[in-house]
Structure 1
Amino acid sequence: MEQHISLTLFGGLCSVIGTSEVIAMRRDVADVIEAVEQRVRSSDESMSSMESGSQREGFRLIGSDLDSMKWFNDHRVIWEFSQIQSYNPSRTGIIFADCSKSLPGYALLQFITFINNKDTIEALVVRNGEYYISSSKFRQMALKFFSLIKYSATLHGPCANCFIGPLKYDQAFCFVSDFWPPSASSWIKRCSTWPRPEVVHDIVKHGCHFVAIGHKMGNHEDFEWRISFSLAEQKLVYSMNHCQFLTYGLLKLFLKEVINKGLTDNDKQLCSYHMKTAVFWVIQQNTVSCWCPQNILENFDVCFKHILKWVYNGVCPNFFIPENNMFLNKINGRVQEMLFRRLSELYDRRRQAIVQIPLISWYFTHVIRNNPILLFSTNENFFVSETNFDEELYFEIFNKAASDASDIITSIKYLNTINQLINLPLSQYHVAALQKFSASIFLKLAFLFQSNNKGTNKFSYSVDKFACYMMKLAAKFGFLSDKLLVVAYYYKTSRILEALSVLEKIRVKFAKQSLMYNRSVDEDLYIAAVGGKSWSTKTRESVARDVRLFNGINYLNELIPEQQFSLRNKKLTLLIPPFVLFHMLEIFCYRLVYPKKANNALSTLKNLICENKNFKVPYAILDISYQILGICQQVTGNLEDAFYSYRESLRQHQFNRLKTATLFRMCTILYRLIHERRMS
């Protein structure tokens, strides 16, 4: 009976968290895009960054934070003075990690050689004639980072938290060491069974990070730093088999929906990091006989008991530095007693509690009821259809395969880097992500070259020919909606009939019921149209996403105020629904050759936005949609209608930060209307 429930739970977790193939895809897309970014940025910029946390591990659970770490490329932390010889002190700020005055897992960072870095210098403090970097002062960098892009943030631990739309971002500024901490050397010796030797070697050679938070029981809390193994932990999670990963995911769900449900942040004693640590220890100590679908519940029980034991003893040993008790000064006395009693009660009714977790409960009551074949199946192909998998893939690629580069030189560096990676052994997901990344760069280059095309006729012809070639490549590897930028290019270069020809082809494909827009699609019709075909074929024939316009690039003269004011408000892109952009381009083109058709297209655009019957205009970006309606009304002479559309744009959530541009356009219309009435 227990094994049957485990099999059903395995299917539920595959549906909620992801099958092994879905998780591999998410990781591959994130890995290859980060590889491109790091190769391009490491030589050009002063800082490197890394996505961390549960999102990078492969989870996409509702409410998950987007965690990121940033560090200076020209600073390195050493553990022994002999390691200085690995660097050029005139170009690298050398920092010595002094663990002798701190509790296990923490260190003081002492400056040995200085370089001119304002942020680091501002965080310096002097103790006994030596220069140390204050963690409390350095944490302010994260707040400064969000304030520069005009977002309000608060400090939580070593990170600054900020909501951008519905998503919560955690940004930590840190320092990096290329060497493995001596205090974690015992971990290497423990790794006889897990992870594999090549994983251990890879982890050790990548060193560790230092995040700006001190131990509350230490003597130097304000300028102490915590040793972070985020990259090592990511590699360990990657090395888990799928049942181990699902058990980790189940513990995270149980923590959020059962243990911590209804508690304030101050009352939450356990966090997902404790769950991950428990899974690490259980795997390495071979406590579980078999990590397989039939044993999901047993595996969960073993990990839960591990946590119970830790709470009872008041000791949670860090996986890399066991001497670092992560419960110290947090779970003791009355709090420890109450938490142990609560966890013991939950353990006794854990089966009932697991089934009542909302996402799992939904799977049991809806999916199983409609498809009983899934009840005891371990075939992961049953849990995610081809359509659902494609939705996941396009979502990941759209969100990650784009850079904010807005100049020719950097864009070409991206293409060269992608070209180098293409020659390496790659998975099919690596290739799909790089193809879409390339398409976005091709589109940028076409507009960048066009904007800088001010030479002789012969030179202009060559530039235009090159830009058109870029467009052709983008159309081959990009989404169907990317072809709208091909139309924009033709319109901008006064090729109206060519623009209308491409628009007509897009219209036919947009009208098909098999079109996948964001995550909305008729599954049967989609499979009938493109099922079994390559992803490049699917994307150019049947996939539309919202269109990004990078504000540093001039795509359409009519949108210059929107892009400029949005950029001044620290917004790097405009995000436009493809159907709105389609009708805008249609109106712009028709008004030059078929004015009556322009009016019909304007009516269609107005109905699309105001009625939004088929949800083709996401509520989050109604601001730009009403703005574009107003622009189209304004260019066709409907000034009063345009004014009301702009006013409606102001009432929407300002995702694209258009308020200043909208007020500018409204003032322009008012001035013109007043002038016309005076003249009449």
Structure 2
Amino acid sequence: MSRIPDYAHNLSLRMSQVMDGIGVSEKIMMKRRRLMLLNESLFTLTHQLLGKDRNVFFFGSQIEGTTTIGLNSDLDCLISMNNYNVIQDWSEWEYGKHNLLMIQDEYVSPGYCLLQELRDDAPLPLVVEVNDNSYRDRMGRILLKNTMFNVLENAVRNGPAQSVRDVPGVEDNDYVLAFPCHERPVQAGHWLNQHREEHWPTNDIVQYCRNTRCFVVGVGKSGSVNELLEWRISTSFAERYLMFNLNITQIRCYVLMKMILKTFITLRFPDNISSFMCKTVLLHCISYTRSDAWKEITLFICLSFCLSTLYNCVQNEYCPHFFITQNNLMSGRFLPETKPLILENLRYVIESDGRALLEIKCDNIDKYLQSSLNGFEPIHPHFIPTLIAGQLLKYITRDISSFFKCLLSEMNDLSPRLAMQKLLTFMSYHHIENYTNIDRKAYRLITRYLCSSRGSILSSSNINQQDHLTYKKALEFLSLGLDSDVASGKLKLASFFYCTGDIERTELILKNIEECYDLSVVEPICWCYSFKHYSIRDKFKGLCYESNEECRLFKHITASCVYFIRCERNCCPLELQHEMFRSTQEDHAYRSRDDKWMNMAVVDSLPYLYFLQYKTYSRLGRQDDKQRALNNIARTMDVEPNLGHRDTALNLLGQCMEEENNIENAFKCYARSLQIRGRNNSAKFHICKLLHKLINN
């Protein structure tokens, strides 16, 4: 890196400017990390509230901040099965857990291990008949196969991961089921003992990595004689921490390497060089150099250094894992006929003196860099970063809604008493004292929704008993849920007042919601099922980009669905209760295991707001306001593209039309609803009821 061409500094600055414009900036990188760490805590919390002894961790580009819209990186999700215990020494055996003894000998590939099954009631080898998930070796040990995990619904096996692809409205995800190691494996510990002075990583970083956990994941070394029995040792936690400690130039260098890989290598040779190899090469390059070599004005030089190192790795077919150096990532990866072609492509990029960068179509790098080199503004300031910020917040909010839905589905068929007990269990989770600050934020976000449901269940089961103490307690819990988002918690409170006959207070709350619900800003949030989501509002994206306190935005610019489970039905308007019984016996055959929400009444916040206004103004005799509310429901059906429960809103609108004695338009609403959802739709009931009424009249 000592020879620096005259043009390199200018090209580096232009490249940095372009990377900033497409969202590879410190601001967006930190925003990604904050929100993804929050989502990681939400995933783990939901699993544990549902009684699953698991931790969920995100790894890879999405949480590192090393991706762009064009790269469209997967979300790598590792699920740690905590009821398993991988040990290296018999003293680490734990009673009651599925203990697995790690075996690493000369017959096992470097970076991998075998897992011997042990008894869970005594520190002894398991001696039973083998099954489809196990194998008895020549020494009589029962070894666990790495194919033991069942493939998830809508997923395909991809190495150790189960990949979910091409689901409408869903980013591509890779789910990896893993076992936690009791102690860091010996192979992964050699790196920690290397002497360091000036070079990266520093002793502090090494010490942190020493304390991070390791996992084993279900995939063997390709071509190994033990391929079905080997488990790969994962140091993803330490790798993530190293990536979190890189500066923005190093991050940009890695992103550019992936873009070059995608442009010049992957299309022709998809299975030879992976992005993980590029990351490993980057980490090695950083460790070879001084930290002050990685600056904005040296980005092109740093990139050239990394590409030259990658070239040498391919040429020698040797790229040592950063932590487990015995594991050669490129062993057996190249065919004799493809290796020269890959080297030729890499040599072209390296020797092009930067001209090859003008061939990168990903994220329009070619156009933006050419414009920047010509002295023009390459990208409209903040246009792409604001889009990324908006997408991130919306994804997290959708997940919060989805987690809440999962918790509610556990209570939907319970009696009010049992549902309250389940809620109390959720809300007094015993591990809360061990939470980090980000875990506490995640817990508060979920608890706000649970408070609304708790108040609604409490009031629903006592609505006719005139119990002042119960009324006060229900009101207290409903009030605690008001800040869940801009509308859904308040709508639960408004429903409570409406169903108890307190129309004046209902009207006041609905007026407050309408004032807070800025139609040019607030995004409706639904994740009950997979459907295509359309573009996000510009003002929503702008607020997401400007704020560094994303958790505060949830209650101001997002509006989740409103959920009522069956034991809340006395606090749910009669017109909406029909949605709890939408499915005939025949319809049930067309439902998946993810359709449990169909046993609830679920509606988007905005049309439900207008529906409650219509009913409230109808009782108050305010005809003009009632008509305005009715028009607002109809308009929302046409202008709001991201409603998840448009069929339900149309059913509510149809019942309003019936109340107006507008039978023709009521039929049209129900027919339109059935066009959206042909089965599991209460519109069938409404049509039959309407026909019965017409015939009898």
* Structure 2: distance between partners of 1:257 and 1:181: 37
Deviation at 1:292, TM superposition (A): 1.6
The 1:470–1:369 alpha-carbon spacing in structure 2 relative to 1, beyond 3 Å, is farther
Shift of 1:482: 4.7
Partner amino acid for 2:654? Q
Which one of 133, 136, 154 corresponds to residue 123 of structure 1?
133
Deviates more, 1:45-54 or 1:212-221: 45-54
- CA 223–489 in structure 1, closer or farther in 2 if over 3 Å, else same: farther
Which residue of structure 1 lines up, in the alignment, with residue 679 of structure 2?
660
Provide, for residues 399-426 of structure 1, a one-character-per-residue CA deviation record: whole Å limited to 9, x for no partner.
45453323655655665569967997x5
TM-score of the superposed pair, with normalisation by structure 1: 0.80
Q: Distance in 2 between matches of 1:603 and 1:511?
A: 18
Shift of 1:312: 0.9
Contact 2:31 2:548 in 1 (8 A): no
Q: Secondary structure at the match of 1:194?
A: coil
CA spacing shift, 1:55–1:457, aligned 2, 3 Å? same
Which segment is superposed worse, 63-72 or 505-514?
Answer: 505-514
Aligned residue for 1:71, secondary structure, equals strand
C-alpha separation in 1, matches of 2:42 and 2:549: 24
Task: Find the counterpart in structure 1 of residue 649 from structure 2.
Answer: 628
| Contact kept in structure 2, 1:435 and 1:477, CA below 8 Å | no
The AA in structure 2 aligned to 1:661 is: N
Amino acid across the alignment from 2:183 = F
d(CA) in 2 for partners of 1:366 and 1:577? 45
More helix by share: 1
What is the aligned partner in structure 2 of residue 99 from structure 1? 104
Q: For this pair of structures, how many residues does the alignment match?
A: 635
Q: Would the alpha carbon gap of residues 522 and 633 (structure 1) be closer, same or farther in structure 2, given more than 3 Å must change?
A: same
Query: C-alpha displacement at 1:625, in angstroms?
Result: 1.2
Give the SS at the match of 1:661.
coil
Which residue of structure 1 aligns with residue 238 of structure 2?
A: 232
Q: How does 1:113-262 map to 2 (within 5 A)?
A: 113-114=119-120, 123-128=133-138, 129-136=140-147, 138-139=148-149, 141=150, 143=151, 145-146=152-153, 152-163=154-165, 164-166=167-169, 167-190=171-194, 192=196, 193-261=199-267
Q: Distance in 2 between matches of 1:384 and 1:421?
A: 42
Partner of 2:75: 66
| Structure 1 residue 108 displacement after superposition | 1.4
Cα shift readout 1:266-296 (whole Å, capped 9, x = no counterpart): 7442221112111111122227751121122
Aligned to 1:7: 13
Q: 1:617 aligns with which of 641, 649, 663?
A: 641
- Alignment gaps of 5+ in structure 1: 147-151, 376-381, 653-657
Q: Residue 4 of structure 2 aligns with which residue? A: none
- Against the structure 1 CA distance between its residues 39 and 502, is the aligned structure 2 distance closer, same or farther, given a 3 Å change threshold? closer
Change (3 A) 1:338 1:364: closer
SS in 2 for 1:405: helix
1:395 is aligned to 394
Aligned to 2:532: none
Is the 2:146–2:231 contact (alpha carbons within 8 Å) kept by the matching residues of 1?
A: yes
AA paired with 2:26? Answer: S
Structure 1 counterpart of 2:337, one-letter code: R
Q: Distance in 2 between matches of 1:220 and 1:489?
A: 62
Distance in structure 1 (CA, Å) of the matches to 2:131 and 2:219:
18
Range that drifts further, 228-237 or 386-395? 386-395
Distance 2:291 2:537 in 1: 42
User: Which residue of structure 2 aligns with residue 586 of structure 1?
Assistant: 613
Alpha-carbon distance in 2 for matches of 1:546, 1:336: 52
Helix, strand or coil at the partner of 1:465: helix
What secondary structure sits across from 1:11 in the alignment? helix
Shift of 1:587: 3.1
Q: Which residue of 2 aligns with 1:76?
A: 85
Q: Distance in 2 between matches of 1:241 and 1:552?
A: 52
Contact 1:487–1:502 under 8 Å retained in 2? yes
**Residue among 310, 320, 323 paired with 1:320:** 323
CA contact (8 A) 1:160 1:170 kept: yes
Distance 1:470 1:12, change over 3 A: farther
The amino acid that maps onto 1:583 is Y
Aligned mates of 2:385, 2:224 — CA distance in 1: 53
Kept in 2: contact 1:160–1:172 (CA 8 A): yes
- 2:507 maps to a residue whose letter is L
Instruction: Tell me the equivalent position of 1:379.
Output: none
Give me the whole-angstrom Cα distance separating, in 2, the residues matched to 1:538 and 1:267: 41
The 1:534–1:64 alpha-carbon spacing in structure 2 relative to 1, beyond 3 Å, is closer
Post-superposition CA distance 1:361-406 (Å, at most 9, x none): 388379979997899xxxxxx7589977974674365245453323
| Counterpart residue identity of residue 357, structure 2 | I
Alpha-carbon distance in structure 2 between the residues aligned to 1:625 and 1:223: 50
1:257/1:582 CA distance change after superposition, 3 Å: farther
Moved more, 363-372 or 25-34: 363-372
Secondary structure at the counterpart of residue 222 of structure 2: coil
Give yes or no for contact 1:71–1:175 (8 Å, CA) kept in 2: yes
Matches within 5 A, 1:442-457: 442-453=451-462, 457=466
Task: Give the Å deviation of 1:177.
Answer: 0.5
Name which of 468, 476, 480 aligns with 2:475: 468
- Supply the distance in 2 between the matched residues of 1:215 and 1:524 (Cα, whole angstroms): 46
Label 1:253 to 1:496 Cα distance change in 2 as closer, same or farther (>3 A): farther
Q: Distance in 1 between matches of 2:338 and 2:630?
A: 64
Return the letter of the residue paired with 1:544: T
| Unmatched segments (≥5 aa) in structure 2 | 1-6, 412-419, 526-534
Q: Deviations over 1:68-106 (max 9, x none)?
A: 22232221111233333xx22xx1121011122221112
Q: How far apart in 1 are the matches of 2:76 and 2:112?
A: 21
Q: Give the secondary-structure state (helix, strand or coil) at the position aligned to 1:345.
A: helix
Which letter maps to 1:582?
Answer: L
**CA 1:646 to 1:134, structure 2 compared with 1: closer, same or farther past 3 Å?**
farther
Cα 1:522–1:421, aligned 2, differ >3 Å: closer, same or farther? farther
Q: Measure, in 1, the Cα distance between the counterparts of 2:262 and 2:666.
A: 47
Taking the TM superposition and a 5 Å limit, the aligned residue runs for 1:501-650 are 501-510=508-517, 520-521=536-537, 540=555, 543-547=557-561, 549=563, 554=568, 556=572, 558-560=575-577, 562=579, 569-571=593-595, 577-594=604-621, 596=623, 597-610=625-638, 612=639, 616-618=640-642, 621=643, 624-634=645-655, 636-637=657-658, 641-650=665-674
AA partner of residue 309 (structure 1):
N
Counterpart position of 2:337? 334
Instruction: Provide the aligned C-alpha RMSD in A.
Output: 4.2
Give distance in 2, aligned partners of 1:275 and 1:191. 25
Contact 1:42–1:73, Cα closer than 8 Å, also in 2 = no
1:316-341 deviation per Cα after TM superposition (whole angstroms, max 9, x unaligned): 22112122122222213112222111
Q: Secondary structure at the match of 1:479?
A: coil
1:465 partner letter: K
Counterpart-to-counterpart distance in 2, 1:176 and 1:532: 36
Deviates more, 1:334-343 or 1:280-289: 280-289
Post-superposition Cα deviations, 1:153-172, rounded to whole Å, max 9, x if no partner, equal 22111122223324222122
Q: CA deviation at 1:347?
A: 2.9
Query: Bigger CA drift: 35-44 or 64-73?
Result: 35-44
Aligned in 2, Cα 1:8/1:436: closer, same or farther, shift over 3 Å? farther
- Give the letter for the 2:495 counterpart: A
CA 1:5–1:531: 2 relative to 1, 3 Å: closer
Q: Which amino acid aligns with 2:692?
A: H
- Quote the Cα distance in structure 1 between the aligned partners of 2:567 and 2:206: 45
